[in-house]
Chain A
Amino acid sequence: MSAGSLTILVIDENRIRASIIEAGLRDAGHREVTVVHDVAGIAKRIAEIEPDVIVIDLENPNRDMLENMFQLSRAVKRPIAMFVDRSDQASIEAAVDAGVSAYVVDGLKKERIKPILDMAISRFNAFSRMARELEEARSELENRKVIDRAKGILMRSRGLNEEAAYVLLRKTAMNQNRKIADIAQSLVTAAGLLGPQEGE
């Protein structure tokens, strides 16, 4: 049976992450994928779409509302249980670790759901990694800016060239067992206090 015959609903307020998951599902051959960012009116959407699988991020505060809706099963035709089977502890743990949860129509075979859940887990992890790397890159850029300013201060006040200024910063950082960016920030702050012209 083709994997594409399952209807999948992705609920994620984070648009970038949602599109990453959607792309992954489509790459895996799933054609019936709906992405929802806002849970307003979700009951009606679920009734229309009749999803076999619902993937939702754990940060979404509306999980309690959704679970209640599934249990009342007035909006949803069939009862929906979380994951395929409770004994599959490893994938449940992996999902919660990754920050994703899934609800599945009762009676669907585990082999059909597992790849979808695995895909969601790996894409969630990839997104977290990406977000972390982006944050690191951002703080790296900030660090570089402050180091440049610190070098400038040393060059002007001590008459050093750029390389000597950097060597001095690095040596001080090593002696004090601190990061160069921290030393640079201290210097910029101190210069700001001592003379406004240096603090810019």
Chain B
Amino acid sequence: MSMAHEITAGFMPLFDSAVMVAAGEMGFAAREGIDLKLQRETSWANIRDRIAIGHFDVAHMLGPMPLACSLGLTPLASETIVPFSLGLGGNCVTVSNAVWEGMAAHGASPDLDPARAGQALGALIHERASAGREPLRFAVVHPHSGHNYELRYWLAACGIDPDRDIEIVIVPPPFMADALAAGRIDGYCVGEPWNSAAVAAGIGRIVTVKALLWRNSPEKVIGVRKVWAEENPDALAALLRALHHSARWCQDPANRGDLAALMARPEFLGQPEAIQMPALTGRLQLGGGVERNVEDFFLPFDKAANFPWKSHALWFYTQMVRWGQLPHTPQNLAIARDCYRPDLYRSALKPLGVALPGANAKVEGALKAATPVGSAGASLVLGPDGFFDGQIFDPDRIDAYVAGQKRA
């Protein structure tokens, strides 16, 4: 059967590519008349390059990456827009066993509490510096990533200067556990299954998670070449509907086994099914036989997880400014604001009669409990969405937020 649309999509081997992978493999794309060709990539740089020259129409991307592309922060970048988010949460901070022992000696307990873990890490860093030892080296997957920003946010809020007190390097996700085992890095922030893989191998401990640093926070998105989106509005709308149905399927606990088996296949993650489960259940093995259940650890669909909130893009923008990646100017702010496209999400999903947020942005960190919100159509529940340090991000007060940010 020939399809109405052929779409080539790039992805990186991470669990949060699941919504896109399942759209292609479980028939959701085909039902919308799309022949979705999935292509695994080896680096975010390749994804960026292949989107820029048209090898890919759309791609699984780090949330801040389309901003970086549109703001001209990377070589060979092109205007890239975000009409759909692939989920909330899903990352962890993992440290080596040796660092964990040091943290435990300074009062850390295996409960994922960001404030306590950060305090213990700060004390360990201070102790090491006094003894004249090398700074600890942490890895993230990319400078323009939620991982980089949430790791820095956490450290800075705990009094650790991420540029001076530690070193931050870039390591590809599948290599994180090996680098930790070899002692090339002391810790990292990465998506699943690359944290659980280190714990399963006995080489690292999960010390905190994204869902506790900033609950219901943005992670991966669908990045779309703007020119392609403008030339193929029907194909894009059909893709967004397919992704919506796929995301709903991925969230349903009844499909966990099937989804884990799908993602375990060699052409996707090539990691055992059991290692996929923590991302789906939120039941994490932290190491040392300790298990913890994390609410909203990774949400592929619930809590409006697929809505491309402009407040998410703008928070990423404030972090780019905070860490010196770009200056805060009205022009840059406008580019960041225009990059995420809730209008495209709404127009594609409207015919389905599903719950759609009425606003394009929200005050992040304001909801202390799950809250039903006004939306078009059926009911919608958002939050809680707090930052661990109690801060609030109001997208209408960017200047004040930027001015109040400290580097440590």
Chain A residues near B (Cβ < 8 Å):
58-65, 67-69, 71, 81-83, 86, 89, 92-93, 96, 101, 103
Please tell me which stretch of B37-45, B194-202, B243-251, B357-365 contacts chain A, meaning at least 4 of its Cβ atoms lie within 8 angstroms of it: B37-45
A/B interface sample: 15 pairs, CB < 8 A: A58-B46, A60-B42, A63-B45, A64-B170, A65-B170, A65-B171, A68-B169, A68-B170, A69-B170, A81-B75, A82-B76, A86-B76, A89-B53, A92-B52, A101-B49
Q: A71-B143, A82-B75 are in contact. Are A64 and B53 (CB under 8 A)?
A: no
Across the interface, which residues of A come within 8 angstroms of B172, CB to CB? Answer: 61-62, 64-65
Given contacts A61-B172, A63-B45, A64-B45, 5 further A-B contacts (CB under 8 A): A65-B169, A92-B53, A92-B76, A93-B53, A103-B75
Q: Which residue of A lies closest to B55 (CB)?
A: A96
List chain B residues, Cβ under 8 A from A61: 42-43, 172, 174-175
| Bound form: Cα–Cα A82–B45 in Å | 11
Which residues of B from 44 to 74 have beta carbons under 8 Å from A? Answer: 44-46, 49-50, 52-53, 55, 74
Residue ID in chain A nearest B168 by CB atoms: A68
Which B residues are in CB contact (< 8 Å) with A82? 75-76
The residue from A58, A62, A67, A69 contacting B75, defined by CB atoms under 8 A apart: A67
Nearest-neighbour CB distance to chain B for A92, whole angstroms, equals 6
**Shortest distance from the beta carbon of A171 to any chain B beta carbon, whole Å:** 34
The complex places the Cα of A101 from the Cα of B55 at a distance, in Å, of 15
B75:A64 contact, CB within 8 angstroms: no
Query: Which one of A62, A68, A96 contacts B143 once the chains associate, using CB atoms below 8 Å?
Result: A68
The complex places the Cα of A62 from the Cα of B171 at a distance, in Å, of 7
State in angstroms the CA–CA spacing of A83 and B76 once bound together.
Answer: 9
**1/0 contact string of B112-151 vs chain A (CB within 8 Å):** 0000000000000000000000000000011100000000
A92: B residues at CB distance < 8 A? 52-53, 76
Scan residues 258-299 of chain B and give those whose CB is less than 8 A from a CB of chain A. Answer: none
Interface size class of B (residues with CB under 8 A): 20 to 34
Q: Which of A58, A61, A101 has the most CB of B within 10 A?
A: A61
Nearest-neighbor residue (CB-CB) of B172 within chain A: A61
Q: Is the CB of A62 within 8 A of B43?
A: yes
The answer to whether B75 and A60 have CB atoms under 8 Å apart is: no
CA distance A195 to B136 in the complex (A): 66
Query: Which of A69, A81, A86, A89 is packed against the most chain B CB atoms within 10 Å?
Result: A86
A62 to B46 Cα, complex, angstroms: 10
| B142 surroundings in chain A (CB, below 8 A) | 64, 68
Q: Return the contact of A63 from the options B46, B53, B169 (Cβ within 8 A).
A: B46
Please indicate the chain A residues that have their CB under 8 angstroms from the CB of B174 in the complex. 61
A133 vs B195: C-alpha distance when bound (angstroms): 41
Minimum CB–CB distance from B212 to chain A (whole Å) comes to 26
Residues of B contacting A96 in the complex (Cβ-Cβ under 8 angstroms): 49-50, 53, 55
Task: Determine the residue in chain B with the shortest Cβ distance to A104.
Answer: B75
How far apart are the CA atoms of A67 and B169 in the complex, in Å?
Answer: 11
Contacts of A60 in B (CB 8 A): 42-43
CA distance A64 to B142 in the complex (A): 6
Contact of A64 among B43, B52, B76 (CB under 8 A): B43
Minimum Cβ distance to chain A for residue B151 (Å)? 14
Q: Cα distance A105–B172 when bound, in Å?
A: 24
A81 to B43, CA, bound (A): 17
Instruction: Give chain A residues whose Cβ lies under 8 Å from the Cβ of B53.
Output: 89, 92-93, 96
B55 to chain A, nearest CB (A): 7
> What residue of chain B has the Cβ atom nearest to residue A70's Cβ?
B75
- Cβ-closest chain B residue relative to A71: B143
User: B142: nearest residue on chain A (CB-CB)?
Assistant: A64
A63 to B169, CA, bound (A): 13
Bound complex: CA A62 to CA B141 (Å): 10
B142 → chain A closest CB, angstroms = 5
Is B49's CB under 8 angstroms from A64's CB? no
Complex Cα spacing A103 to B49, Å: 13
A101 contacts across to B, CB distance below 8 A = 45, 49
Neighbouring B residues of A59 by C-beta, 8 Å? 42
Docked pose: A103 CA to B80 CA in angstroms: 22
Residues of chain B contacted by A63 (CB below 8 angstroms) = 42-43, 45-46
Specify the chain A residue showing the minimal Cβ separation from B50: A96
Question: Cβ of A62: which chain B residues have Cβ within 8 Å of it?
Answer: 43, 172
Distance between B53 CB and nearest chain A CB, rounded to angstroms: 5
Q: Give the Cβ gap from A165 to chain B, nearest Cβ, in Å.
A: 39
Q: Which residues of A contact B50 (CB under 8 A)?
A: 96
* B49 contact set on A, CB distance < 8 A: 58, 96, 101
Q: Which one of A59, A63, A81, A103 has the highest number of Cβ atoms from chain B below 10 Å of its Cβ? A: A63
The distance in angstroms between the C-alpha atoms of A110 and B134, with both chains bound, is 42
CB within 8 Å for A67 and B45 given contacts A61-B174, A81-B75, A82-B76: yes
What is the CA–CA distance of A88 and B142 in the complex, to the nearest angstrom? 26
